[in-house]
């Protein structure tokens, strides 16, 4: 049975444009995989705590030496890593906020990055320990940023996921959503066409 993990990072949860694009892809994936399993992690509805010194210390403390609070912090992180490992396909809804990723997504990434668990350092450099899988990113933007120096998202998300070992990444962009009603409709229609092609 195939498993799809959908990660929504819009502050507007399932009402965000990036979430709705992700939903459109997931509907088509469900149709093609009627026996498949879909896991939804909505970082807008259920944001993760940002890293603190206490949490980082818990990650670096040997399991047998952790106190109860440290065990809880490590277990919460491990749950996210195991959830990602269980997925054959990952879908990420990604809005652009002030030239960067939502802070809730950064917090999610910070919980995934665990030395010795999701990556390790070797004599030849860091090595990702999460097996490669297909990952789709549905990026919604108010303006036009793709291919410019202001698009820090694409590079950051790609580099971070590559660092964990995930390299098969495809982006679908819907840009200019705040420019005009006509541009918004055009961009969303183009994104939906790409989604239909991906699912074909």
Predicted confidence (pLDDT) per residue in 163-187, tens digit: 999 999 999 999 999 999 999 999 9
Q: Which residues of the chain have pLDDT under 70?
A: 200
Domains along the sequence of the chain with CATH: 3-199 (3.40.50.360)
pLDDT value of residue 111: 98
pLDDT value of residue 200: 64
Instruction: Determine if residue 10 is labeled as part of a ligand binding site.
Output: yes
pLDDT value of residue 95: 98
Both tokens assigned to 154: 């694409």
pLDDT value of residue 107: 98
pLDDT value of residue 199: 72
């Amino acid at each position: 049975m195939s498993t799809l993990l959908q990660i929504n990072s819009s502050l507007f949860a399932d009402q965000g444009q990036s979430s709705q694009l992700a939903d459109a892809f997931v509907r088509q994936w469900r149709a093609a995989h009627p026996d498949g399993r879909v896991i939804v992690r909505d970082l807008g509805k259920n944001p993760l705590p940002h890293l603190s010194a206490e949490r980082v210390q818990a990650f670096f403390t040997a399991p047998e030496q952790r106190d109860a609070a440290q065990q809880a912090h490590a277990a919460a992180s491990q749950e996210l890593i195991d959830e990602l490992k269980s997925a054959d396909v990952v879908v990420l809804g990604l809005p652009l906020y002030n030239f960067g990723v939502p802070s809730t997504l950064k917090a999610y990434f910070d919980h995934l990055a665990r030395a010795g668990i999701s990556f390790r350092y070797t004599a030849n450099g860091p090595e990702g320990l999460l097996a490669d899988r297909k990952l789709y990113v549905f990026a919604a933007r108010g303006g036009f940023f793709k291919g410019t120096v202001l698009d820090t998202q694409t590079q950051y998300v790609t580099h971070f996921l590559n660092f964990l070992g995930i390299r098969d990444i495809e982006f679908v962009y819907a840009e200019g959503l705040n420019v005009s009603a006509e541009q918004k409709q055009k961009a969303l229609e183009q994104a939906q066409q790409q989604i239909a092609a991906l699912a074909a």
